[in-house]
Amino acid sequence: MSTVIETQGLTKHYGPIVAVESLNLCLQAGEVFGLLGPNGSGKTTTILMLLGLTEPTAGWARVLGEDPLRNPLEVKRRVGYMPDSVGFYDELTARENMRYTARLNGIPSSEGEERIDEALAAVGLSEVADRPVATYSRGMRQRLGLTEVLLKRPQVAILDEPTMGLDPEAAHEFLAMIRGLKARGITVLLSSHLLQQVQAVCDRVGLFHKGRLVLEGSVDALSERVLGGAYRIAVQATGDGLERLLSGIPGIVRVVQERPGTCRVEAQQDCRAEVARRVVAGGGQLLGLSLERATLDDVYARYFQEARHEA
């Protein structure tokens, strides 16, 4: 795998305000990477620096081997960008908007029509391509934004809050399109604060907090680091001392007694068989045993809970 986006010490200050601080990031070809964090945490500023749209205060970035500050046009030629607010000419049709975009990107008209048809078909807008964009719903406009990205046949797609404001069905469909980008071999950088959606499509994630990248890795890796384990096991049983019985099982990080007869186990592996054996050996009766994988919501909540505690 080759590196397509890399930053070292990338920093952006707006006067006394620290937007991004000492960002070291490395994205590999073909992966979907999620930038997570609340509004104002540095996600969009990072994207702007990667596209050469704002100058770093310190550090550097490389996108497909190019310096976006020195060669912004070359970066934009090979990178598709979908901002959080997509704008089109409402009085024009979707096809006419794409023709305009094709001309702006220097795509010859002879090739442009083929690319437009291909991109519209990929996002399911072929049948409504000749309707004015003013008649489009929010979800259709977001699809048209992705059409604009695909029109360039990019190697990298940068999507800033692409599912913001979409209803659940439209968001689900858009996530499927992001998977389609990966299937095409396009590297995707996805900025969002919607954790469940990010978890559904991303290979790795990075969590921003006050301009710093504080966590990075797969969901399982972050679960190990922050929660101590990627698995959560819910146990219901009769008998006394559940917490004592289960705490000594190898791989179990923590046992939380929620109420008499019910506890939650955080573990590094699926150890349900040993949990059941210990309950029965201890004279209890197993009433329920279910397994969940830890989620980004769990990681996010625990991290900020600990950060507030330390503060």
What is residue 9's predicted lDDT score, i.e. its pLDDT? 97
What is residue 229's predicted lDDT score, i.e. its pLDDT? 79
**pLDDT tens, residue by residue, 73-131:** 999 999 999 998 888 999 999 999 999 999 998 998 889 999 999 999 999 999 999 99
What is residue 311's predicted lDDT score, i.e. its pLDDT? 62
DSSP state letters, 184-234: TT-EEEEEES-HHHHHHH-SEEEEEETTEEEEEE-HHHHIIIIIS-SEEEE
What is residue 1's predicted lDDT score, i.e. its pLDDT? 58
DSSP state letters, the chain: --EEEEEEEEEEEETTEEEEEEEEEEEETT-EEEEE--TTSSHHHHHHHHTTSS--SEEEEEETTB-TTT-HHHHHHHEEEE-SS----TTSBHHHHHHHHHHHTT--HHHHHHHHHHHHHHTT-GGGTTSBGGG--HHHHHHHHHHHHHHT--SEEEEESTTTT--HHHHHHHHHHHHHHHHTT-EEEEEES-HHHHHHH-SEEEEEETTEEEEEE-HHHHIIIIIS-SEEEEEEESSS-HHHHHHTSTTEEEEEEEETTEEEEEESS--HHHHHHHHHHTT--EEEEEEEE--HHHHHHHHHHHHHHH-
pTM above 0.75, yes or no: yes
Total count of residues recorded for the chain: 311
The low-confidence residues of the chain, meaning pLDDT below 50, are none
Domains by residue range for the chain, with CATH: 3-217 (3.40.50.300), 231-293 (3.30.70.100)
